[in-house]
Amino acid sequence: MSPSILAADFSRLADEVNDVGDAVPWMHVDVMDGHYVPNITLGQPVVASLRAATDHFLDCHLMISDPRTYAPQFVALGAESVTFHPEVDDDPLSIVHALRELGAHVGVALKPKLPLSLVEELLPHVDMLLLMTVEPGFGGQAFIPEVLPKIAAADDWRGAHGADFRIEVDGGITVDTVAGTVRAGADTIVAGSSVFGHQDRRAAVRALVDAAIAVQSSART
């Protein structure tokens, strides 16, 4: 579970993150550059401040056109995990290797319409595959169910190749949509509005985790 701070109140970000507290150890940080996506969110200074304000594992999702230049900067500021969209670069594998050499967890992300084949070459080398379940750029959008077969295909690929990367889903995740993604093979859940849109963030996290675990338990029986 990785709550997205995009839905938090940015004027009191440290309080917002600490409000979730140790209910969940990860925090999803959406970086947007106004080029890769039609929106601008936050950059290095905010990640540096967050790093100083929290012990959470910072799961940075870079929706930017130039990850080769900027992704290492987020690692240097203390982000444990950096995920980028690989189709923006001619040689994304070299970015993956460079980030791993810096000691970061590395993820690659796919927009809803992009096929798994685009990242197959990268999958043996990454820690996480992020499958967008909305078009990147904005929080609070509706879940796109057409992505579910791609989640299942990624899970199949992982099993067939003995790989152990996480499958993270991002966008429109609610207590109603989370089940389908977990059933398809997702194991890491990003949620912005479904956490920070609620007064009691810990209860919101618990509700999402419970909905996910219910699927895993029923799959075993």
Residues that bind Zn ion (CB under 5 A): 30, 61, 170
State CA 15 to chain mean position distance. 21
Closest CA to 75 of 32, 31, 35: 31
Do 45 and 67 form a contact (C-beta atoms < 8 A)?
A: no
Do 158 and 164 form a contact (C-beta atoms < 8 A)?
A: yes
Of the listed pieces 2-10, 66-74, 90-98, 205-213, which binds ligand DX5 according to CB under 6 A? 2-10
Per the structure block, which two tokens stand in for 1? 């579970």
The interface with ligand DX5 within residues 40-99 (CB under 6 A) comprises 61
Nearer to Zn ion, 160 or 166 (CB): 166
**Distance between CA 160 and CA 154 in Å, rounded?**
10
Shortest distance in whole angstroms from residue 56 CB to ligand DX5:
15
Print the binding letters for residues 17-46 with ligand DX5: x by CB under 6 A, - otherwise: -----------x-x----------------
Q: Is 7 in the site for ligand DX5 (CB under 6 A)?
A: yes
**Which residues does residue 59 pair with via DSSP β-bridges, in sequence order?**
28, 81
187 catalytic per annotation? no
The number of helices, as runs of H, and strands, as runs of E, in the chain is: 8, 8
Of the listed pieces 116-124, 136-144, 175-183, 199-207, which binds ligand DX5 according to CB under 6 A? 136-144
Residues 6+ apart with CB under 8 A from 154: 116, 129, 131, 167, 185
Q: Which does 67 bind (CB under 5 to 8 A by kind): ligand DX5, Zn ion, none?
A: none
Catalytic residue among 15, 19, 30, 127: 30
91 catalytic per annotation? no
Where do contacts with ligand DX5 occur on this chain (CB under 6 A)?
4, 6-7, 28, 30, 61, 134, 136-137, 139-141, 170-173, 190-194
Q: Which residues are catalytic?
A: 30, 170
